[in-house]
A and B are shown apart, each in its own frame.
Chain A
């Protein structure tokens, strides 16, 4: 099924490239990016507009329900499925700068709609989900791009968040986007497939274990000698940044979108 999807997506990408189609992209910013990481959202807008697409922001959007769902408060997450569908029903493409939120939708919304027992909602979810993309996935698979015209003259290492890596199967898509950035020096992170230990409420419920996992991750980041650690999820980055800042390590974390939004300042 996944291959079928990928093939049809690649085909769409080819068709778009051939026709030079500008897409109407609806941005689902996600609750925590909206509140804590607005720069990521601004960067997504900047990249998409630079590529010639139109960005819309449905104002009634709030949260995908992941925190509630994954912590055991499934009942509280249920109404958010309907809300998401209502907000994005007519979208040509929905772009989300968070692979864990996209995972929440793709892995759980169909089942949740089924549990609610609402046939209309089930149909709506099924119709909408194929148009939902994690940001890097939208660029590489839907648009078929690697070079988005970015400039970022820094030594960078990439952290593959678990949900992007395993649930969405992003593969090396994010790294391909990064490699095409001018000026960047991309260094591999050891233990790429290893979780950083965030896991939502896991980080507070099992703070000690989460800390031990984080210690391994920050050590790996520091070993790269990178000045910037990037990822497709600000949740992992907030965790890694929290540890690095406590150590006064002098390494910052930056969402992939912010790197891809980077531009060379115009020479005088």
Chain B
């Protein structure tokens, strides 16, 4: 596993990273097992909801409406959060967000922070920026702690250490917590983490969190979690800094009725999250006395401007699409070269990079549609994948170099062929002729191809291809017409 941050700007293309991942049999076994367990739990708690499809539709409508009026709801959130005693900051991009958070931490007078699991902070590589500024960040989510201590990277947006099994986690804890006698039951591991973290909770005066939802109507922030470690970070520090993408806003408190049913069932297969924290500004004598919210764009308005891509922002980060994805199942998350892995990562990451990086990700899908089927807010991920493929091809074929791209040339030629029945028939004949040197007959006299050149060689690495029949359907049909039925 890699200690190098998952950065789409430097990551290998998906097919190459995937090849490496496919060689890690332990990781693949762990991912298969974990996703199967979560999928089964999700299926159980979804099946017991008679109105699940209506809930999905309601979730979609809420998110869509919010995105259509995002400017309005963000300002409403800012006004209400400020009124309640919070301080709202706006960050155009990752760079600005990091700078603001570092300054706020410094101003809090602490050189340590305790952190709640947050994908947004992973997105902007906040921990590294804090470290550079002389501030140490302690991850307090159990899985994030495993990742941090193991100098690893997350492989899932909800269960970031899902690629590790219990024995591997025990090894990390033994080594990094200096516990040579550590037992191997889940209880032993949880106890070790508890001892390790409790001391940090009580000592560190500044907390950093992400957000599941920002509530425009009240100015409140909502975080759901399973461990209670998040609750510790939200209540014990003197200063709390929340960083959230601008897509996290919802209009009304009441909208949580829908979203807090959809999210836990989709994410962890729980009816309700064990800890649901909602806080609004600051209150004297209760919890952090200084509260900042950093609202970060980081390419989200670019995504919003694209009518065929903007559904991506409706995502509530449940991870159900990862668990059900047959590609993710084989490769795990790190092959995606981004903290956002799986189907949602394949559409979100390249758009967050404004299509300048991660161009291989929209192709990292067989378009099987399992992601769309489970998405709690009905994001048609296959449709967005196809849309983004179109953008990648457009970029690739613009200019002179497009004239020499083998795939583009072949695709354009095929396009011409399909425009005419005559050309199509000629191509069928040509195909039969040109495959002849590659065909070997089997014992039954059936011809098979086991080697194909160039890009097509991907097919024959584990598959054979039967030779083309001597007669096409349309030839047969014509002959049949001539001779009567």
Q: 1/0 contact trace for B406-447 toward A, CB 8 Å?
A: 001001101101111100100010010000000000000000
A205-B458, A207-B458, A242-B465 known; A193 and B370 CB under 8 Å?
A: yes
Let me know if A245 and B411 touch, CB within 8 A.
Answer: no
Chain A residues within an 8 Å CB radius of B424: 31, 62-63
Let me know if A210 and B366 touch, CB within 8 A.
Answer: yes
Let me know if A162 and B455 touch, CB within 8 A.
Answer: no
The stretch among B54-62, B136-144, B292-300, B326-334 that forms the contact with chain A is: B326-334
Chain B residue at smallest Cβ distance from A196: B366
**When chains A and B are docked, how far (Å) is the Cα of A90 from the Cα of B425?**
24
The stretch among A9-17, A69-77, A126-134 that forms the contact with chain B is: A69-77
A73-B411, A162-B370 known; A38 and B469 CB under 8 Å?
A: yes
Chain B residues within an 8 Å CB radius of A76: 411-412, 414-415, 418
CB A150 to nearest CB in B, in angstroms, measures: 20
A65-B418, A68-B414, A76-B414 known; A199 and B459 CB under 8 Å?
A: no
Q: What is the total number of residues of chain A having a CB less than 8 Å from a CB of chain B? A: 68
A62-B418, A76-B414 known; A198 and B366 CB under 8 Å?
A: yes
A38-B471, A208-B15, A209-B364 known; A195 and B370 CB under 8 Å?
A: yes
Max count, chain A CB within 10 A of own CB: residue among B364, B383, B414, B463: B463
Q: What is the total number of residues of chain B having a CB less than 8 Å from a CB of chain A? A: 64
A34-B472, A76-B415, A202-B366 known; A70 and B421 CB under 8 Å?
A: no
B456 within 8 A of A: yes
**When chains A and B are docked, how far (Å) is the Cα of A202 from the Cα of B22?**
16
Chain A residue at smallest Cβ distance from B464: A245
**When chains A and B are docked, how far (Å) is the Cα of A123 from the Cα of B331?**
44
B392 within 8 A of A: yes
Chain A residues within an 8 Å CB radius of B390: 72-74
Q: 1/0 contact trace for B10-36 toward A, CB 8 Å?
A: 000011001100100000000000000
A174 within 8 A of B: no
Q: 1/0 contact trace for A56-89 toward B, CB 8 Å?
A: 0101111101011111111111011001000000
Let me know if B411 and A59 touch, CB within 8 A.
Answer: no
CB A219 to nearest CB in B, in angstroms, measures: 13
Q: Which of A38, A194, A211, A239 is B461 in contact with, Cβ under 8 Å?
A: A211
B260 within 8 A of A: no
Chain B residues within an 8 Å CB radius of A238: 465-466
B253 within 8 A of A: no
- Secondary structure at chain A's binding surface: helix, strand, loop or mixed? helix
Chain B residues within an 8 Å CB radius of A36: 466, 468-469
Q: 1/0 contact trace for B154-180 toward A, CB 8 Å?
A: 000000000000000000000000000
CB B336 to nearest CB in A, in angstroms, measures: 12
Contact residues, B454-481 vs A (CB, 8 A): 455-459, 461-466, 468-469, 471-477
A29-B473, A208-B18 known; A71 and B393 CB under 8 Å?
A: yes
B271 within 8 A of A: no
CB A227 to nearest CB in B, in angstroms, measures: 15
A203 within 8 A of B: yes
Chain B residue at smallest Cβ distance from A82: B419
Chain A residues within an 8 Å CB radius of B450: 246
A213 within 8 A of B: yes
Q: 1/0 contact trace for A138-178 toward B, CB 8 Å?
A: 00000000000000000000000011001100000000000
Let me know if A79 and B365 touch, CB within 8 A.
Answer: no
Q: 1/0 contact trace for A24-51 toward B, CB 8 Å?
A: 0000010101111111111000000100
A251 within 8 A of B: no
Max count, chain B CB within 10 A of own CB: residue among A61, A72, A80, A202: A72
Let me know if A59 and B22 touch, CB within 8 A.
Answer: no
Chain A residues within an 8 Å CB radius of B471: 38
A241 within 8 A of B: yes
Chain B residues within an 8 Å CB radius of A205: 15, 363, 455, 458
Let me know if A80 and B418 touch, CB within 8 A.
Answer: yes
Let me know if B369 and A197 touch, CB within 8 A.
Answer: no
Let me know if A57 and B477 touch, CB within 8 A.
Answer: yes
A226 within 8 A of B: no
Let me know if A38 and B464 touch, CB within 8 A.
Answer: no
Chain B residues within an 8 Å CB radius of A63: 418, 424
In order of increasing CB-CB distance, the 8 nearest A-B pairs are: A199-B366, A207-B458, A242-B463, A76-B415, A72-B389, A72-B393, A195-B368, A41-B473
What are 19 A-B contacts defined by CB distance under 8 Å? A34-B472, A59-B421, A62-B421, A69-B386, A71-B411, A73-B393, A73-B411, A74-B390, A79-B419, A80-B419, A83-B418, A83-B419, A162-B370, A195-B366, A205-B363, A206-B14, A206-B458, A212-B330, A238-B465
Besides A41-B473, A162-B369, A207-B457, 12 more A-B contacts (Cβ < 8 Å) are A37-B469, A57-B477, A62-B418, A62-B420, A62-B421, A65-B418, A73-B393, A73-B415, A199-B366, A205-B363, A206-B327, A210-B366
